[in-house]
Structure formats: structure tokens, C-alpha cells
Amino acid sequence: MDLRFKVIVYDIEQGQNEVILNESQAQELDFALHDRLLLKAKGKKAVAIVDYSHKAVPKGGVGVFWEVALALGIKTGDSITLQSCPRPASLEAVRKKLDGKALEPSEVQSIIADLMAQRLSTGELAAFIAGVHTRGMNVDETIALTDAIIASGERLKFSKDGPVISEHSIGGVAADRTSMLFVPIMASMGFRVPKTCSRAISSAAGTADVMELFSGVAFPAKKMKAIVDNVGGCLVWGGAVNMAAADDKLIQIRHPLHLDPKPLLLSSILAKKKAEGAQFVLLDIPTGQGAKVLDLEEARLLAKDFTALGAHLGLTVDVSITDGSEPLMPVVGPVLEARAVLETLQGRGSSALAEKACRLCGISLSMVRKVSFDEGYRLAKQRLDGGHALKKFLEIVHAQDGNPKIKTDDLVPGEHHHTMDAKEGGRIRHVDNKNLSRVVRALGAPEDHYAGLKLFAMKGEHVEKGHPLVELYATSKEKLAYGIETLKAHNPVEIENIVLDVV
């Protein structure tokens, strides 16, 4: 039976389809907490989960959040009908995984289908992720999961002949903007390099946050394809192109749980590469103290899994295992990293960034052109040193509605700054990625593009007592003060067991 209710819209993003009913009326109608309801309005339908309110919602009313209002095209005062909806069949598959049993491909697909249709609650999805974390997935389950994630969004298909190349790092390294060099270097050689980038989740900046200082990054898939067809490469935000859309929803659940099960990591990355239209994929696995992967053996096992899954998906995958224990550059934060990228493309920036980018290009060229790594490295360095990569990068910036005449002087951090001096002299033993990110996020990054941090010395270098060690930048005195406070609590620089003194 359809029941008609008056809508109250809450301009709040809930993260799942949810409606609020008056508690006494819901009980009269036998709508229990977390029951599913089918909502109908203006010829549209949506499934939502029931929650209760004592007073906020009157009888005859229904509170809906932003997701539901958007899906149905409704506003406060509109009428909608509610109808009981059966429990999703995929919940049996979630229970089966929690019991340690292997899922059939159809069961994996049902979970992703219900995820996309907003028929599963956050708690139910968390249970699925926990099940994968504790019980694992076999090869067939992982392939089925990857295929289902690919099918959940759009896919790029390029009509022109020639290899399509993509590169991806599993992350965890502060100031690693290798993709911003890799894409223009490879595109300057005539390859197509469609690159979707992420925004920061727990770090101080993602590649999309840094690229945003040069150009737009939020484009639909059709525009992304046009950019690649036009200039050979792109650096766009993955959250806007609706590729492997189910993965973005799973990440929203995984992140607060601090769970990154291997099958979900594998399917997350390779589903996006397949959706980008890539044929050749190079993966970077940063390894070491403070990185996502702690030791070399673990990295090698993960590399084998990526290569094997890629083969099942029709992708040629190679893996580079790199040192991820330290930040790649001595600057952290969107605007400082953007400036360092531009300087490096101009031939006067970070030697570490240039070296890593050329090495990754060398590996890719050995995959695609069958040249030796040394020859591939030489060709990449030639494109960088000769200004070809800079020219291509600025073409990409222009194609993404940015300013191709941008200068390094346009990329300036916040005006409020403070320098921390070394309390004692000594050799820098370690610079912690996570603590660097904590400090820069306290300064306002990544939302505030002009927050940042500069290191005056890196691992292995010597600092004298009283000499500058770290400089913080912020757009307000309040943010700067919070950054200093966070630096005291989470010292990112170890100097022979001597901590920073904030002066």
C-alpha cells in the first residue's frame, strides 16, 4: 500500500539514502528502524533506510536528506509516497563472507549493485569490508569484484590506434607529484596518457588538489576523452568522471575504519585503470617506515597480485617498488608542491621528483616500446631537459581551462609564516610522512591551497643548532597557531633523538 507524506528536506549530505519518520507513526505503520522503504515522487523512485524522530518530524511528514531530495527532484512541501521494500538479497552474501565462505560472481555483483542503488546501509557495507579484511577473497572473487566496480561507472574507449598508458601510486608519500611529470613526459612522445587523480583524504594534498592551482580538474568522462584526444594526456579528478563509481563509495566506508584489505586495494586501482581505457599500467608501490607497505617482501607479493589480476583484465601491468619512507620533496602543501612541479618542468626544481618521474617513464617505455630501461630513462630525461614535457604540460593546462602562461611567481603560499629552528645540531635521521601531513592539514590544507610547510634539510643532511629547520605557511594567524601547536604534538623531523624546539 502506498502512503502519502509531506516532505521536509534537510540540506545535509548523509552518505546514504535515509528518511526520518515520526516514531509513533512509524511504529503504527510497522516500519522498524533500518527497514527499507520505496519512495516515489514525480515519476522517480528511490530506496531509503528508515530512522526515527520523536519531535523533529510530525505525523504525516517525512524528513529526507540531500541525496534523496536530489534523486527524486523534491523540495520541502512536496508530497511523496512510501511503500515497504524487501530486505536486499545481497545481505545474505555479506553474511556468507563474514562466515568465511567464498562468494559466487553473481553474489559479488549483487553487493555492488545494491551499493550503487543505495539499498545497503553504511553499517552493512562496513560489515562487508570487515569480512573481506578478515576472511579475504580468492582470485575469482577479486576478478568478479573488479569487473563489478568497472561496470558501475563510465569507461573511456579511444578510437585511434596506439598504446594507452597509465601510471598510479598506491600513495602514502608526502609531496609525491610524480604523475604531474610522468603524464606530460609520456604524452610529449605521442602516447595517450589518461590520468584520473585523487584528492587528499588524510594527506596534505592529492594530485588533483595540486593540479587545481593550474587548471580545472572536474570534468565528465566525455570531456576527459576529448582532452586526451586533443593533447595526448590529462590530469583530472577521478571523483568527477564517474568511473568505477562503486569504488569511491567503498573508499568512503573504508577510510574511517582504517581498513585497506588487499582485494579491495587491487580492485580499486585496476578497475580505475581499466575504466580509463589503459592498456599498459605502471604501478608504484612506495615501501618503508611510515608507508602503506612496510617491507620489501610485502611489496613484492603485492606486485605479483597486481600483475596477475591485470592479466585477467587484459592489462599489461608492471610494478616499481620505491622508497616511501620519506617525503619526495622538501615542500608540502598544494601551492608549494605546484610551484615545485613547475620549477622541475622548467629544469630548476626538485632533482628527486625529476629522477623518480624519469625512472618510471623508463619502465613504461620498456613495456611499450620494448627498449631497455636505460634507453627509456634516457629518452624520458631528454624530453624533460629539452622542455618538451613543460610544453606538453602547459598544453594540458590550457585544454583543462587553465592559464598556460602561469609563472612560479603566481604560486605563493599564505602570508603568515613562522620558522622553527633546530634546538641542537645533528644529522636528520628521519622525516615522517604522516606527521608532516598532520601539520600541514592543521594549517588548513588541502582545502586551503595556500597552507604549506618547507623543510630546510632532508634525511641524512646535517643541521646546526639554531639554524632554520622548518617553515610553516598559513592564510591566517589562527591557522598558523594551530599548525605550530600540531608541530609540537607531532614532530615530523628526527634529529639524532633531539626534538624540535618551537620558538
- The number of folded domains in the chain is 4
Residue with the bigger pLDDT between 292 and 136: it is 136
Task: Tell me the three cell numbers of residue 242.
Answer: 564517474
Task: Based on the fold, state whether residues 308 and 387 are members of the same structural domain.
Answer: yes
Task: Based on the fold, state whether residues 355 and 311 are members of the same structural domain.
Answer: yes
Q: What is the pTM of this model?
A: 0.91
Residue 276 CA: distances (Å) to CA of 165, 192, 363:
9, 11, 20
Report the Cα 85 to chain-centroid distance in Å.
34
Task: Based on the fold, state whether residues 371 and 226 are members of the same structural domain.
Answer: yes
pLDDT band at 499 (very low <50, low <70, confident <90, very high): low
> Over the stretch 368-393, which tens digit does the pLDDT of each residue have?
999 999 999 999 999 999 999 999 99
Task: Based on the fold, state whether residues 43 and 106 are members of the same structural domain.
Answer: no
Helical H segments across 232-261, by residue range: 245-257
Integer Cα distance of 268 and 112 in angstroms: 13
- The CATH number given to whatever domain includes residue 9 is 2.40.40.20
Task: Tell me the three cell numbers of residue 454.
Answer: 618547507
151-166 CB burial, b ≥16 within 10 A, e <16: bbbbebebeeeebbbb
Q: What is the mean pLDDT of residues 405-432?
A: 95
Tell me: pLDDT of 334 over 70.
yes
Q: What is the mean pLDDT of residues 332-346?
A: 98
Quickly tell me which residue has 534537510 as its cell.
10
Q: Residue 316 has what DSSP assignment?
A: E
> Over the stretch 46-86, which tens digit does the pLDDT of each residue have?
999 999 998 889 999 999 999 899 999 999 999 999 999 88
Q: What percent of the chain has pLDDT over 90?
A: 87
Q: Is residue 154 part of a domain?
A: no
Q: Is residue 502 part of a domain?
A: no
Tell me: pLDDT of 201 over 90.
no
Q: Is residue 233 part of a domain?
A: yes
Q: Is residue 252 part of a domain?
A: no
Task: Based on the fold, state whether residues 356 and 462 are members of the same structural domain.
Answer: no
Catalytic residue among 260, 318, 323, 421: 260
| SS3 label, residue 467 | coil
pLDDT computed for residue 396 by the predictor: 98
pLDDT band at 257 (very low <50, low <70, confident <90, very high): confident
At position 428, the amino acid (one-letter code) is I
Between strands 44-53 and 18-22, the pairing is: parallel
> Over the stretch 466-481, which tens digit does the pLDDT of each residue have?
999 999 999 999 999 9
> Over the stretch 99-119, which tens digit does the pLDDT of each residue have?
999 999 999 999 999 999 888
Q: Is residue 274 part of a domain?
A: yes
Q: Which of 214, 496, 493 is CA-nearest to residue 332? A: 493
> Over the stretch 482-493, which tens digit does the pLDDT of each residue have?
999 999 999 899
Integer Cα distance of 61 and 68 in angstroms: 15
pLDDT computed for residue 380 by the predictor: 98
pLDDT band at 184 (very low <50, low <70, confident <90, very high): very high
Q: Which of 343, 376, 320 is CA-nearest to residue 186? A: 376
Exposure on the CB side of residue 426, measured as CA atoms within 13 A: 15
| SS3 label, residue 117 | coil
Task: Based on the fold, state whether residues 204 and 327 are members of the same structural domain.
Answer: yes
Task: Tell which of 54, 85, 116 closes a domain.
Answer: 85
Task: Based on the fold, state whether residues 429 and 392 are members of the same structural domain.
Answer: no
Task: Based on the fold, state whether residues 394 and 276 are members of the same structural domain.
Answer: yes
Q: Which of 488, 453, 450 is CA-nearest to residue 210? A: 450
Tell me: pLDDT of 498 over 60.
no
Task: Based on the fold, state whether residues 107 and 194 are members of the same structural domain.
Answer: no
Tell me: pLDDT of 410 over 80.
yes
Integer Cα distance of 169 and 299 in angstroms: 13
At position 52, the amino acid (one-letter code) is Y
Task: Based on the fold, state whether residues 209 and 282 are members of the same structural domain.
Answer: yes
Exposure on the CB side of residue 131, measured as CA atoms within 13 A: 24
Task: Tell me the three cell numbers of residue 295.
Answer: 617491507
Average pLDDT value for the chain: 94
Tell me: pLDDT of 3 over 90.
no
pLDDT computed for residue 137 by the predictor: 97
Tell me: pLDDT of 501 over 60.
no
Q: Which of 16, 20, 4, 6 is CA-nearest to residue 63? A: 20
Q: What is the mean pLDDT of residues 428-439?
A: 95
Tell me: pLDDT of 182 over 90.
yes
Task: Tell me the three cell numbers of residue 445.
Answer: 590544507
Integer Cα distance of 248 and 245 in angstroms: 6
Task: Based on the fold, state whether residues 175 and 44 are members of the same structural domain.
Answer: no
- The CATH number given to whatever domain includes residue 446 is 3.90.1170.30
Please give the residue range of the domain that contains residue 431: 413-495
pLDDT computed for residue 1 by the predictor: 61
pLDDT computed for residue 502 by the predictor: 56
> Over the stretch 267-312, which tens digit does the pLDDT of each residue have?
999 999 999 999 999 999 999 988 889 999 999 999 999 999 999 9
Integer Cα distance of 16 and 307 in angstroms: 34
Q: Is residue 487 part of a domain?
A: yes
What's the count of helices (H) and strands (E) in the chain, helices before strands? 18, 18
Composition of the chain by helix, strand, coil, percent to 5: 45, 20, 35
At position 124, the amino acid (one-letter code) is E
pLDDT computed for residue 102 by the predictor: 97
Dihedrals φ, ψ of 234, to 5°? Answer: -155, 165
Dihedrals φ, ψ of 171, to 5°? Answer: 90, -175
Q: Is residue 21 part of a domain?
A: yes
User: Hey, CA dihedral for 55, 60, 66, 67, is it positive or negative?
Assistant: positive
Please confirm, yes or no, whether 260 is among the known catalytic residues.
Answer: yes
Quickly tell me which residue has 564517474 as its cell.
242
At position 221, the amino acid (one-letter code) is A
Task: Based on the fold, state whether residues 473 and 369 are members of the same structural domain.
Answer: no
Return the number of other C-beta atoms located less than 10 Å from residue 305's C-beta: 18
Integer Cα distance of 312 and 309 in angstroms: 5
Q: Are 177 and 210 in contact (CB under 8 A)?
A: yes
Q: Are 179 and 197 in contact (CB under 8 A)?
A: yes
Return the number of other C-beta atoms located less than 10 Å from residue 306's C-beta: 24
Integer Cα distance of 52 and 31 in angstroms: 10
Q: Which of 456, 451, 476, 454 is CA-nearest to residue 466? A: 456
Task: Tell which of 345, 371, 399 closes a domain.
Answer: 399
